[in-house]
Amino acid sequence: MAVMKKTLIINGVERMFICDPENDTLADVLRRLGLTGTKVGCRAGQCGICSVLLDGEVTRSCLKKIRAVPYYARVETIEGLGTAQSLHPLQLAWMVQGAVQCGFCTPGFIMSAKGLLDQNQDPTREEVRAWFRKNRNACRCTGYKQIVDAVMDAAKVLRGEKTMADLAFRMPADGRIYGSSIPRPAALGKVMGACDYGDDLAQKTPDVLHLAVVLPGCSHARIKGLDTSEAEKAPGVFKVITARDIRGNNRLALPTAHPRAKADGLEQPIISDQKVVRFGDVLALVAAETPAQARAAAALVQPDLEPLPEYPTALEASAPDALEIHPGVPNLFVTLPVLKGEEARKVLDESAHTVSGSFYSTRQPHLVLEPDTAQAYVDAEGVLTIHCKALALQVTIDAISDGIGFPPDKMRMILNPTGASFGYTMSPETPALVAVAALATGRPVSLTLSYPEHQHFTGKRAASFSNARLGCDAEGKLTGVEYELVYDKGCYTEYGAALAEMGTRFFTLPYYLPNVTGLARSVLSNHAHSTAYRGYGSPQGYTASEQLMDMLAEKSGIDPFEFRYKNVIRPGLTSQNGHGFAVYPMIEILDRMRPRYQALKERAARESTDRKKRGVGIVCGMFNVTGYSGDHAEVALELGPDGAVTHFNTWEDQGQGGDVGTLVLTHEALRPLGIRPDQIKMVMNDTALCPPTGMAASSRSHLMAGLATLDAARKLMDAMRKPDGAFRTHAEMTAENIPTKYVGISDTAAATTPLDLNTGQGDPSIEYTFGAFLAEVEVDLDTGQTRVVAMHTVGDVGVIGNKAVVDGQAYGGMMHTIGFALSENYFDVKKHATLAGAGFPYIDMIPDGDDFTVEYVETPRPAGPHGSSGCAELFQTSGHVAVINAIYHAVGVRVHDLPATPEKVLALLKAKAEGRLAPPPPYFFGEDFYDTIEEIKTNPVSWE
């Protein structure tokens, strides 16, 4: 390798360095110089994460070869913009507007925005959006609106219309921060580029080995052999790690644990040893001294594979002649019922109006901007320590311990600052890989996937197939529903019964159905395994039920908004699982939404042209807060000598706001002490230091951690309280031998009931969130292109703990639903391997300003801390169907299979024009629906 010396002016300082002119990019050089505020995401120029200013021009540094950068060129990075004591207006605006969530895109966005404001200090919102689209600045968390807000605010400061003091957050007069928009504690480090994510940490770890994965290049095959000889001789290679090097049983323990499941959940290898069952299986790991050496050697590994038939969808895998993907495990491995009232077939046959349909929702990729990354090492005490992205730290230890052959009590999980996950890091695969490598090599290791590897390896939202029929009486009141919802689980059974259970809970909610006959199933296929994704399991059901609601409204001659208003659950009515709710806010939610609905309908009619038609779609949605009966969480509060209180928890924060949630919950619980926010310290997400707070899933964290915080605060204040009502100091408690640290506990066992295995009746969740989503679209009749003109939501998530954070979850969630509806997919392993190829929603796809809003109905939750609940997942439940319904109301064609790409819409428009438009035939899953229902009725099962 040839090297050369070069000198650049970086952040105003002359910097000389040695580089590889043929292979190094500007991003590589900056990061090697320690300027890791410049992040690297896709390495393909599609995300703008790596944006810096090069001689004043916004430049994607991952694409800029260092040889093409002139000597003494001026480079500006995030590190040169401001200090903690003297922030740039853009940095402060990002913090106060809530434009920082995971923060991985923040440095690139801020540098791009600086490039704009250096040229134009008075841009319009449209000019800001056009600038970010031109420079391909992508964000997966925020929905972009708060980012544009931040640029507009910073521009006012630069123009002298607002001071930094005006811009800064102000403490409320009463000193209460609960319900305010106090910035996230982690935001400061993120806007300065001082926050080290996983790959940044690896750059600063001594003696680290870099890992590269060997993937099979096919989706179903027997492994006959693996030739690693050439890779072992390659430069820099320390070791090639295969399944033979694993000490344990080489299986991830994700028990299906359900009497109706025909799988044990123990079929997934850490490194594949017998079969390939997906394109993203790992056949080997190469450990080398540099990432480039590891990747070069990985390409030399030669697998010997015997091809097997590939079943890319659940339909093909459930065919009678399909091979079992995992021998001994039926591909259709779990079927769960929901039975309420009379048999729906009889009721529907007698109903005044019925509609039916078959629907498909895609395998939605999470499309995070930070490819998966993790590090591991054995520390001086012999503890295997794993740094990673994980939404379930303790669960991960339990899931990988037997597989890697290491005792769980000698393992430590630490959550790195994380470039988001939206659910996929519930899967423990990556921590298992780095753990195996650390044990096999005896050295610290780091794995950072390329973006295509990330796409192939990580789990996705389960694709789904459904058949359903819905009916109502002559007045438009729903009478019953029958449905079969099949989740395409992909190659592994991970959480497959829990996923099917969600299908028995949310299909048709929040409407009252007196009679329900439903089946939810999970089926294996040779594709990326499904894993958690916000709204887990509910968007697939809503894909069918919210389209059927529109279809039935039309058949009944009732406006789709009014049809929903007539049928939402009111006090005294029950869900399809037979339970009531603590609150019933849907009427108020829809009353709030009605004026917007009418206004958008009028605008759509007014703005439609001969070639571009507009339409409006409305949907309702719900989600649970806590996902299973008997949820449990622990936190700890400790009084320090300086009067500060330290909060210890494992609230796995990956951008959703666990840090500020911890802050406001603790401050509110300890208000009698009169402590300031800066007197609350946080130690989070290190299993060696923190009690188990539980996984960050099922919208549970704010509620469960909040209740545990209240319990710990009561215990601490009771211990501090003197007989006269005053509070002891730390010194006084120590002198009296009174403990200063207390563990708080919350548990829902007494307040919840598991679903009945034979009827689906019960209530595993302590609370719920409710909402309605409204979309206006414009469809180009010549191209089939759909543009979302406006999207609005009214949600009820209980009392809001931090307004800016919940706004961010709402806007970001709506962005995900737009992508889900129109573009996002992971099916074609070549086309969908990149952000752009997989349909990432850039800023021009998302509405802004008055056309993109969120309102709240804050009904206090009796079971929640301070009346609060959870929030994030509501906003990714059903909004995608508002877009699909809007397309129908614009041009009269219904998209039954997502995403609604221009090609699909155009084909439907052509079929309509030619008089051959017809709904798709029902899906067939190998056995009669009502035969299965009868078998369940006659063969009940129990947990015993």
- CA dist 720 and 728 (Å) reads 5
- CA distance readout (Å), 778 to 156, 177, 300, 617, 707: 33, 41, 50, 12, 45
Report, in angstroms and rounded to the nearest whole number, the Rg of the chain calculated over CA atoms: 27
- The single-letter code of the amino acid at 117 is L
366-376: b (≥16 Cβ within 10 Å) or e? bbbbbbbbbbb
Contacts of 349 (CB under 8 A, 6+ apart): none
Token code pair at residue 732: 């006084």
Token code pair at residue 128: 């800001």
The SS3 call for residue 632 is: strand
What single DSSP character describes residue 326?
B
Among the listed residues 873, 927, 935, 944, the single catalytic one is 873
Phi then psi dihedrals of residue 597, to 5 deg: -60, -45
- The single-letter code of the amino acid at 614 is R
What single DSSP character describes residue 514?
S
H/E stretch holding 720 reads helix 701-720
Q: Whose CA is closest to 925, among 210, 322, 390, 344?
A: 322
The arrangement of strands across the sheet holding 612-625 comes to: 612-625, 767-780, 786-796, 852-856
**CB-based contact 47:136 (threshold 8 Å):** yes
Q: Note if 873 is an active site residue.
A: yes
H/E stretch holding 79 reads none
- CA dist 389 and 655 (Å) reads 11
Contacts of 54 (CB under 8 A, 6+ apart): 26, 61, 64, 69, 73, 74, 75
The arrangement of strands across the sheet holding 275-276 comes to: 275-276, 221-227, 302-307
Which position has the token pair 């079943």? 311
Calculate ∠ Cα 728-731-736, nearest 5°: 75
- CA dist 15 and 703 (Å) reads 50
**CB-based contact 776:614 (threshold 8 Å):** yes
Length of the chain counted residue by residue? 944
DSSP notation for 871-890: -GGGGGSSHHHHHHHHHHHH
The SS3 call for residue 719 is: helix
Contacts of 928 (CB under 8 A, 6+ apart): none
**CB-based contact 249:402 (threshold 8 Å):** yes
- CA dist 694 and 746 (Å) reads 11
Which amino acids are annotated catalytic?
873
